Amino acid sequence: MRLADQILTGVHKAHVRLAERQWRSGRGDARTWTWPQAALDSKLTGTKQCNICGWRGTAFVEVHGMTEHSEGALCPVCGSISRDRFLYWCWVRRTGYDRGARVLETSPRLNEVYRDRMGQRVDYVSSDYDESAHRGAIRLDLQNMDLPDNSVDVVLTPHVLEHVPDTHKALSELYRVLKPGGHVFLQIPLPQAKTAPPTEPEYHGDMTLVYFRFGWDLADTIRDHGFACDVLVTSELRDAAAAGRSFSYGGADCDVADLMAGADAGSMTVVADEKQAARHSFRPAFQFVTFDCHKPR
């Protein structure tokens, strides 16, 4: 074995040992710890990285031929796709770490290994409405949440609100159950500039009906329910909005020209720069918009 290969092998083994020690030690921000399995499967020279499990490699796995898409770029260890990683990224970037934080995730895509890891990081519970496409520890209707007032520190809700008939009830309930100072990280597809119902029946990949196609005005709707709200984006999207640029996109699910025509760079908060977006595959930029809804103390 060449000397360079021997050095790389030694570094890789040390990386695995460090990951194992970190999980046992319980010190630091556990949300950023590398899973031991991810360390084992990583190629440390890779330019791609999963911020959920810590895997590193040369490329994410294509999903239906897609890598640069919110539904693409699969992590080979934890199974996250791009939008999962951006939601997680926003949570870590926008809140301090508290091992005892009560974190609710609605309709999570990821499996029991992920949920077990989350349970080791925070006081985690997963929910789903009818368990037709996902499994949760509890059943929960966002329009009528069977949870006490001021009982949750963080809500992670990925691509759920568009499937809820009454947006206002859902936002009111989220505000009610959230502790003062808490955050709801609300991630939805943003296919156009202004919110409107679909003009014809629309279903997403898990065959759930879409009630609303949201736009930038969702931020004002969120604020109308008592939240402060920041629109979290990558620097690429903010810069394109500032320059009045759009993006080329062949998909029929998003009117990108309309979306970008209504975009206001001054109302956006950048949480990932171009290098970070490339590393974790937060592209194309217009598919990664997350609303940080925080409840005043």
The domains of the chain, with CATH numbers, are 69-294 (3.40.50.150)
pLDDT of residue 210: 94
Would you state the pLDDT for residue 65? Answer: 83
Closest CA to 292 of 142, 183, 172: 183
Nearest partner of 222 among 167, 156, 262, 259, judged by Cα: 167
Q: What is the pLDDT of residue 25?
A: 83
Q: What is the pTM of this model?
A: 0.94
- What is the residue type of 249? Y
The confidence score (pLDDT) of residue 273 equals 98
| Exposure on the CB side of residue 142, measured as CA atoms within 13 A | 28
Inter-residue contact 284 to 69 (CB < 8 Å): yes
Contact assessment for residue 140 and residue 127, using Cβ atoms and an 8 Å cutoff: yes
DSSP-H helix ranges across the chain? 3-25, 36-41, 82-94, 112-121, 167-177, 218-224, 235-243, 256-261, 274-280
Taking residue 105's Cβ as centre, other Cβ atoms within 10 Å add up to: 27
Give Cβ neighbours of residue 199 (< 8 Å, ≥ 6 apart): none
Residues shown for the chain: 297
Q: How far apart are CA 183 and CA 179, in angstroms?
A: 8
Residue 49: per-residue pLDDT = 97
- The pLDDT, as a whole number, for residue 251 is 83
Pick out the chain residues at pLDDT < 50. none
pLDDT number for residue 143: 97
Contacts by residues 204-209 (CB-CB < 8 Å, ≥ 24 positions apart): 204/159, 204/162, 204/163, 205/71, 206/132, 206/133, 206/134, 207/132, 207/133, 208/132, 208/133, 208/163, 209/163
pLDDT tens figures, 163-185: 999 999 999 999 999 999 999 99
Q: What was the pLDDT predicted at 11? A: 75
Distance CA 13, CA 17 (A): 6
